[in-house]
Amino acid sequence: MKTSPEELNRQAAEERLDRIIDLFNQERDPSKTLEIELHPGSEGEGKDLGLEDVAIVRILRSLRPQAEPSPGFGAKLAKLFTTEQTGKKAAPKKNPFRIGVFAACILLVFAFTFWNNLFKGDVVLAMEKAVQKLSSYHGIMEMTTENAQGEKWLVRQVEIWYQGDKYALRQNGETLTVNNGKQKWQVRERDKEVAILPLVPDYTKQGFALRDEALRAKQYPHTIVGQEQVAGREAHKLKISPPGGEPYYLWLDVATNLPLKLQTAMQNALQTTYTFVSFEANAEINPQIFTLKVPEGFKVIEEDPGQLVATVREAIHVSEITPLLPQEVPQGIYAFPKKIVLDYGETSIIETPASLPWEPAGFGAWGELNGQPVEIIRDRLRWQQEGLEITVEGPRSLELARQIAPDMILPDKDTDLSSQAQVKVPVDMEIVRNDQKQVDAGHTPWQLDPLYVSVTFVNLLVTPEGIVGEPKIPYEDFKIGKNTGKEAIVEVLSGPVSKVYLKRLVRQDESGIWTVVGYDQR
């Protein structure tokens, strides 16, 4: 329905601006929807909303995440559209050239800083609103995994029913996995069994929780990088860059603003792509699919499902361990024999009795807590504290870990360790790059561990003709001293070398190989 100029003129200037912004949020063009008299007193001549005014509103919306406007900013901006309604004589008609120059100046001032935000805000906001209105969906998703060379080694399709915090997923027409928010199970047709599964952490849900993907796209830096066809539909392609992480991509349906495709970052030389080849929004879903029913002739097995408890005291009674608790109250507490899981949505805290000796994985970075190492692998932190082994995994892992261990020290990836080496080792980058390709293809995975790389390097110094049988300097004599994720120092307890200095020269993440760049003589 068209809004008349007379009705709009009766509104306050701020209300008119709100109306324009609302139309932008609805992905509608104000210049085609509204008829606004920009200059009252000009003999009632109605004008379409000018491009300069649209540009100003676009800029204001794009600035919203960066800074809050001053309290009087809206009133000042309103003067661009109308005179103050104080009973004074209306101002003469503004020179459209002056307004255009003013808008252009604003564009020039902010374009360099906020250029990417000028045109992406509408799409991301529209996606958020579309997902909020999504009460349920039913679709078929194709999941493809590729290695670094682009070779596909896993392709499968799953049928998905999703409603609120419930979902059901059928793979290959045989296995049905269901999570109704209170219980998770899997019906295995081939084995004629129903397995009761742990409710958290829920790794199955990752990849098709559209509400979570919309939230991440809004929170993380993102840019529209193109428009492509996905399953026969036009889609915007978004590049999403989590702070401190590798970028990944999300495709949004141009017509519905709903996510159609997700491509993860390359991790451990593997990349997974989730694509909806069919999708029905707000579908009617039979509630029976979320009800556990054991088919006739099937047996029930429990794979350590744990139990949801109401209090920490109950969890202690079931698990027989006393957990260390963060300040924030979890959404749920799950108790298992000798294990407690605190559920924070996408992030989980798992606490078990500590086992000794304990060594973090060599391919991860190492932090420190009270002189003991903290294992850091992507968004997972693992350490031992007060007789417990604690694992925090998820996008809020660092925030929640610091609530348990405020003195935790994270490694500084910019620390230059290799410059300390007494003896520099020359490196042939062509060989290193070829070795990285070999590891990406699944060969010689020991190159991902600085300990194994150091063992090989030192023993080849001792026996240059090659290692036959057990190495002269045993693996037990090698210990990681420091590991920033980019550089590492390995201490050697015996032999002619006291320290080995290593770097990730090709790729500075868990999929990158380690290369010796120097050592200290004993």
pLDDT, tens digit, 9 for 90 and up, residues 36-85:
434 444 443 333 444 334 444 443 343 333 333 344 433 443 343 334 44
DSSP per residue, 377-393: ETTEEEEEETTEEEEEE
Statement to judge: residues 430 and 356 lie in one domain: no
Statement to judge: residues 144 and 117 lie in one domain: no
Which amino acid type is present at position 286?
A: N
- Bridging pattern class, strands 478-483 and 423-424: unpaired
CA distance 237 to 127: 12
pLDDT value, residue 365 = 84
Statement to judge: residues 155 and 284 lie in one domain: yes
CA distance 449 to 500: 13
Question: Is residue 402 within 8 Å of residue 353, measured between CB atoms?
Answer: no
Considering only CA atoms, which of 284, 48, 52, 298 is closest in space to residue 195?
Answer: 298
pLDDT value, residue 245 = 60
The pTM for the full model equals 0.49
Domain that holds residue 283: 136-289
Residue 299 lies in a domain: no
Residue 297 lies in a domain: no
CA distance 23 to 31: 10
Half-sphere exposure of 463 (CA within 13 A, CB side): 11
Residue 296 lies in a domain: no
Q: Compute the chain's Rg from CA coordinates.
A: 30
Instruction: Give the sign of the dihedral formed by CA 432, CA 436, CA 437, CA 438.
Output: positive
Half-sphere exposure of 434 (CA within 13 A, CB side): 5
Statement to judge: residues 444 and 373 lie in one domain: no
CA distance 499 to 492: 6
Statement to judge: residues 261 and 321 lie in one domain: no
Statement to judge: residues 111 and 186 lie in one domain: no
| 116: exposed, middle or buried (Cβ count in 10 Å: 0-12, 13-18, 19+) | middle
DSSP per residue, 155-167: EEEEEEEEETTEE
Which amino acid type is present at position 195?
A: A
Helix axes 51-63, 13-25, angle to 10 degrees: 80
Statement to judge: residues 318 and 393 lie in one domain: yes
Q: Which residues contact 137 (CB under 8 A, 6 or more apart)?
A: 160, 162, 210, 279, 280, 281, 282, 283
Residue 294 lies in a domain: no
Statement to judge: residues 70 and 144 lie in one domain: no
pLDDT value, residue 142 = 86
Statement to judge: residues 54 and 115 lie in one domain: yes
Residue 478 lies in a domain: yes
**Which one of 66, 98, 121 terminates a domain?**
121
Residue 109 lies in a domain: yes
CA distance 267 to 380: 14
**Which one of 242, 257, 289 terminates a domain?**
289
Residue 378 lies in a domain: yes
pLDDT value, residue 72 = 43
Helix axes 96-132, 13-25, angle to 10 degrees: 50
Tokens 């579309």, residue?
Answer: 130
Residue 282 lies in a domain: yes
Q: Which residues contact 44 (CB under 8 A, 6 or more apart)?
A: 5, 37
Domain count, the chain: 4
CA 245 from chain center: how many Å? 8
**Which one of 77, 92, 121 terminates a domain?**
121
Statement to judge: residues 245 and 329 lie in one domain: no
Q: Which residues of the chain have pLDDT under 70?
A: 1-122, 153-154, 203-216, 243-245, 267-269, 303-305
Statement to judge: residues 114 and 140 lie in one domain: no
Question: Which phi and psi angles does 83 have, rounded to 5°?
Answer: -80, 160
CB atoms within 10 A of CB 65: 13
- What is the CATH number for 253? 2.50.20.30
Statement to judge: residues 143 and 283 lie in one domain: yes
| Ramachandran assignment for 466, one of left (phi > 0), alpha (psi -120 to 50 degrees), beta (any other) | left
